[in-house]
Structure 1
Amino acid sequence: MVGVPFDLVSLWRESKAPAIIGYCESTSTAISWFTFSSILIIMALTAERLVAICYPFSLKSWFTKKTVIYVIIAIWVLSFFPSVYIGLQFKQVATDFCGKIHLVELGYGSCDFVGWNFAYTFEVMLLLTFVLPIAFILYCYVRILKTLNLMTSTQTVHHPVANQTSDSSATTPTIKQNFLQIHQRQCGPAMSEKAQKVVIKMLVTISVVFFICYLPYHVERLIVWYSNESCEQSIICLLLYPITGLLQYISATLNPIIYNLMSYRFRTAFRLLLKRLFLPTRTKGGTTDHATIPLHL
């Protein structure tokens, strides 16, 4: 929703930016902001599953509805600052006959990265927005899988068995029951464990999609930054930009589809949300009664 209008303007004007003050800066900031927020939200979802499975009694109580709202707000605020840092380094520029890039007046150039004194901007962004998130997600998955395997292997079921004996000393005979406990290992995982594994499969799928779609994006930035003029003469290099941009859109498109296909609770909440927005029900008093959406989405 944010990136497509900017791309349409770029295609319509043949890559020339319109004569709007701060157009290049705001465009890059907005796209980077939503990209960084998506990455941090994937990390937050993985961290929540880690806490729910590995620390169900000590830390699970922290994840209240209010805490989740605060975490989402913090993610958007935190991702805004690196986005502004990247966005302010995009200006309207043009290339002269010697191949040198110069700042031009509004409406006569295209948006391009000009950079500041720091020469390793893309390397730092690669580390912060790709390498570290992937490392954190992999660490969480290893911990989660170990915990689930441990829960499955050590789970036992206690079956009470009654041993009936008669008491003949009393006038009226009574029957005493001595209960014994038989410990039997359960063959299959419990339903809660199956549900947890479904969630883990969903998060793993989302993380794999994120890895496949965003790795070419970072590689393309590094290639263009270090190859300079030679990249403009290579067909493969020129194709990298539209391909990596398309992969970003594919990642954003696939995420809600994956949620709907793999999560029953997400489908249920989504249907209730649509019903609440478009199909309000009328009560006897004439007021509108909307469908209630469960909080534990």
Structure 2
Amino acid sequence: MLFGLLGNILTILVVWLRPHMRSSTYLYLSSMAVSDLLILLLLPLDLYKLWRPRPWLLGDLACKLTMFLSECCTFCTILHITFLSLERYMAVCWPITAKTLVTRRRTRALIGCLWLGAAVSAAPVLVMVGVEEGIDGGHEGELDKRECRCTHYAVSSGLLSAMMILSNLYFLIPLCILGLVYSLIGRTLWLRPQSSRKDQSHRHTVKMLGVIVLAFVLCWLPFHVGRTIFSLSLGTYFNLVSSVLFYLSAAVNPLLYNLMSARYRHAVNLLYGHGKFCHILFPRKLTV
């Protein structure tokens, strides 16, 4: 959690404090960093629920909002990776069209739409979850059995099943799109001469995004599989492993940027070198 928080905060600062880093690609990555930050901030609550699932002492509103925020950020991250990959496809395969369509202003507007779409998609969670009396697993003599969980209404009405289908579609459809997009990008770059400086830059960016997508698939596939089979006897243990990978995915992206992008490393060095990062953390000390 600490590693992920520091890495994602640094990613946001690098993009927004270094003007040359505000390309469409890094605008997407900084917005993803915000989503990953929110996911990681929910980790203590998830650990608390594992340690003591009942009684839930934070109230019905906190139960609904935390579950909604987790689902919203999950959808948002998937949408960001998909649209970022489509943007790279436009830049590589249709460069003239991309120069006209892909601008910073439109990218910011599209990112706002992605957040709105993710929030709308996650909205049913506000009805699905709530604080109810636990019906199993309680300790003998335990008086307060309030638990933050899926409500009986969500199960009986079929809302839980519908949301499970939506969640899986949110993973499977983008996965198919990503496979097609990177196949087309790879084919286009393979057929072009490697002497072009712009194509070399595209290759480097696509390699970085390819690693990010691979990490995304490896970390999130068990999470979605675990959701589907949670009712089986192995579901509890599988969900624990998939939850670890889910949070690992939110923490590992800044490390991948650092390993794969010399531009990112250079921007971080400039940020430290000019003291802007320290100025934000300790403004009074630096102004004295």
Q: TM-score, normalised by structure 1?
A: 0.70
Instruction: Count residues in correspondence.
Output: 231
Instruction: After TM superposition, list the pairs within 5 Å mapping 1:1-297 onto structure 2.
Output: 1-11=40-50, 13-96=52-135, 108-114=145-151, 115=154, 117-118=157-158, 119-127=161-169, 129-152=170-193, 188-224=194-230, 227=231, 231=232, 234=233, 236-274=234-272, 275-279=275-279
Contact 1:33/1:80 (<8 A) preserved: yes
Contact 2:60/2:130 (<8 A) preserved: no
More helix by share: 2
For 1:89 and 1:31, the matched residues in 2 are separated by 14
Partner deviation per Cα, 1:170-219 (whole Å, 9 max, x = no partner) = xxxxxxxxxxxxxxxxxx54333222112111111111111111111111
Contact 1:17/1:23 (<8 A) preserved: no
**Which residue identity lines up with residue 147 of structure 2 in the other structure?**
S
For 2:110 and 2:217, the matched residues in 1 are separated by 23
- Identity percentage over the alignment? 28
Structure 1: 5+ residue stretches without partners = 100-104, 153-187, 281-287, 289-297
Question: Counterpart of 2:130 in 1: which secondary structure?
Answer: strand
Q: Between Structure 1 and Structure 2, whose CA radius of gyration is higher? A: 1
Contact 1:213/1:250 (<8 A) preserved: yes
For 1:249 and 1:96, the matched residues in 2 are separated by 29
For 1:270 and 1:61, the matched residues in 2 are separated by 30
Partner deviation per Cα, 1:96-153 (whole Å, 9 max, x = no partner) = 37x9xxxxx9x632222232523432022201x201111111111111112112212x
Change in 2 beyond 3 A, CA 1:89/1:278: same
The alpha-carbon deviation at position 272 of structure 1 amounts to 3.8
Partner deviation per Cα, 1:213-256 (whole Å, 9 max, x = no partner) = 111111111112xx3xxx4xx3x322122211111111111111
For 2:235 and 2:270, the matched residues in 1 are separated by 46
Aligned to 2:4: none
For 1:44 and 1:132, the matched residues in 2 are separated by 12
Contact 2:54/2:145 (<8 A) preserved: no
For 2:271 and 2:177, the matched residues in 1 are separated by 32
The alpha-carbon deviation at position 15 of structure 1 amounts to 4.7
| Aligned Cα root-mean-square deviation (Å) | 2.5
Structure 2: 5+ residue stretches without partners = 1-39, 138-142, 281-286
Which gives a bigger RCO, structure 1 or 2 (Cα 8 Å, sep 6+)? 2
